[in-house]
């Protein structure tokens, strides 16, 4: 995986920042939001090339690094 990959286009948060948050104790989407500001914007459909909320990618990264499969997959907006 490319650690410099942009995950949250609204807040310009990269994969490496999300991984760092997980290493520093983030256990779910809410923790990631609090620690990185990712998934707190409101322009997902226009800024993200995938045309959707970045929560899906964040959940996958959480699963990959923490093994947590019970993370919330909802989005604040």
Task: Please tell me the predicted confidence (pLDDT) of residue 72.
Answer: 56
Environment class of residue 21 by beta-carbon count within 10 Å: exposed (0-12), middle (13-18) or buried (19+)? buried
Q: Which CATH class is domain 6-66?
A: mainly alpha
Task: Please tell me the predicted confidence (pLDDT) of residue 50.
Answer: 93
Q: What dihedral do alpha carbons 48, 3, 29, 50 form, nearest 10°?
A: 20
In this predicted structure, the answer to whether residue 77 has a pLDDT above a threshold of 50 is: no
- How confident is the model over 28-75, as pLDDT tens digits? 999 999 999 999 999 988 999 999 999 999 999 999 987 765 555 454
Query: Do residues 12 and 38 make contact, with C-beta atoms less than 8 angstroms apart?
Result: no
User: Helix/strand/coil (H, E, C) string of 28-65?
Assistant: CHHHHHHHHCCCCCCCHHHHCCCCCCCHHHHHHHHHHH
In this predicted structure, the answer to whether residue 1 has a pLDDT above a threshold of 80 is: no
pTM, to two decimals? 0.83
In this predicted structure, the answer to whether residue 3 has a pLDDT above a threshold of 70 is: yes
């Amino acid at each position: 995986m490319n650690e410099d990959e942009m995950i949250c286009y609204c807040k310009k948060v990269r994969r490496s920042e999300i991984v760092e948050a997980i290493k520093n104790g983030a256990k779910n989407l809410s923790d990631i939001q609090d620690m990185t500001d990712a998934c707190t914007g409101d322009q997902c459909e226009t800024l993200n090339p995938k045309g959707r909320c970045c929560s899906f990618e964040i959940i996958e990264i959480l699963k990959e690094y923490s093994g947590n499969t019970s993370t919330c997959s909802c989005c604040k907006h």
